[in-house]
Amino acid sequence: MSVLVGIDIGTSSIKSIVMDPAGKQLGFSQIDYSIDYPAFGYAEQDPSVWWKLVCRASAKALQQANISGNDVSGIGLSGQMHGLVALDENGNVLRPAIIWCDQRTIRQKDELETLFTQEQFGKWIQNRVSTGFQLLSLLWLRENEPEIFRRVWKIISPKDYIRYRLTGEIGSEMTDASGTSAFHVAGRTWSEPLLKNLRIDPELFPKLSEPWEICGTVTVQASAESPFVAGTPVVFGGADQPMQAIGNRIIDPGTVSCTLGTGGQLLTPLEQPVYDPNFRTHTYVHAVPDRWYLLGATLSAGLSLRWLANNIIRNPNYRWLDESAKQVAAGSDGLLFLPYLIGERTPHMDPFSRGVYFGLTLNHHEGHLIRAVLEGVAFSMRDCLEIFKTVGVRVQRIIASGGGTKSTLWKQILADVFNREIYVSSMDEQACVGAAITAGVGIGLYDSVEQACSVIVKLKDTPVVPQAQNRDLYDHQYSVYKDLYWKNRELFTRLNVTKSGIGGDEDHDPKGIF
């Protein structure tokens, strides 16, 4: 039997899927892990943990499929975006990876936005710089850990590290490069003008390929540590958002994906690298030829629910959470939630924003707290959708995916808040499926990504339909939700001017980004 393996290096788990050429899932495994928070505003993970869990999860998936590594024809990868993995000249990891939800680089972000204009960012990278993105993390490393910085040979993204452990080859590809803040998205190349102005050596960044191209094969050493056989082809793969888009067959303009994972994302393909002139969204390279995509991102989607479950209610049984929220009417009896627990990207690009419960009364209970989180995340996703409309995006169909879509209530809330039908794929784990598809294209099993999607990806026939009786209620609450941020924006900034290390630390002697 010939099968494909798709591996997703997520923020909260490693997933591995075994799929036959027709798209049938034969085996699947998911192993959860945590984010390390060594200081306020910091978010890190150990790349060696990713590798160990990739080996374990893939072994379990193959065992479930009742096949061995000899049956694997190709391996594809998907991974969390934006993070920084620093390697020395021997390929050793120099420090824990700084991942996408890290907020330590607020000062570096402010300094860059003082040095350069929006027009320059538009010309050089077609995006705004953001905390948690690779370039700013690199600048922080240069300022705060100079001994480590001097030893850096290459910086790569999380899934690129796993591919390196599999093949021994260093490299990256266009989709992950797009999310570094160091990449000229329209030209599909590293941004030499920006790097030159920042005195960053372009050689620190890896050479780039396409997601479906073969990077190398499994090495003898990797074969000894993993269930894979030496010589098995491994493609470059891609960032998790374009990989899930492929797994949902979101290739052409007009279709929008809505992902409810640790973070939340709204994505739609573009035929040209159009970007929001106010930089409230991101424009990146898609994982299919001659396509880009527009991305709106909210940082705390599933993360908000996990925070509530683990830290406040102290009951991580998500089925119970869902049932409790179902007992509460739409609108949570006037309770609103801002899901800005670690700052926010779309639409505010504000690392100082914070989470808020607004409208609490003595009549509210656990069910209200839960439902308000589900609704608050849906409002944050609607923020993304409204911006899409302003830049001329046609919204013909919305396809939802991610762990949050296991909740029928959350999908219904999305449909009601968007006032749009919500479709879901007939397949689970779309990022893994997308990774497996790129592997199939790379080894010649499929003619193209588009052809593979036409064979494999199917949507469920019946969408989630918005409930007309909730439209006016949610429109009203959404207007209050938007005002809630703007009326508190200045207070968020004042609250965060502390000695936390990410705000206005009075004891910090600023060295500047140079």
Length of the chain: 514
Tokens read off for 19: 């799929």
55: closest CA among 228, 171, 217, 214? 228
Per the annotation, the verdict on 240 as an active-site residue is yes
Spatial distance between the Cα atoms of 319 and 322, rounded to a whole number of angstroms: 5
Instruction: Give DSSP secondary structure letters for 86-138.
Output: EE-TTS-B-SPEE-TT--TTHHHHHHHHHHS-HHHHHHHTSS---TTSHHHHH
Sole residue written with tokens 């998911």 = 30
Please list, in sequence order, all residues whose beta carbon lies within 8 angstroms of the beta carbon of residue 84, skipping any fewer than 6 positions away. Answer: 97, 98, 134, 137, 138, 141, 155, 157
b/e burial code for range 49-80 (CB count within 10 A of at least 16 → b): bbbbbbbbbbbbbbeebebebebbbbbbbbbb
Long-range contacts of 17-20 (CB under 8 A, 24+ apart): 17/61, 17/429, 17/432, 17/433, 17/436, 18/61, 18/62, 18/64, 18/65, 18/67, 18/72, 19/433, 19/436
- DSSP letter, residue 422: E
Select which of 71, 102, 160, 240 is catalytic: 240
Would you please indicate which residues are annotated as catalytic (active-site) residues? Answer: 240
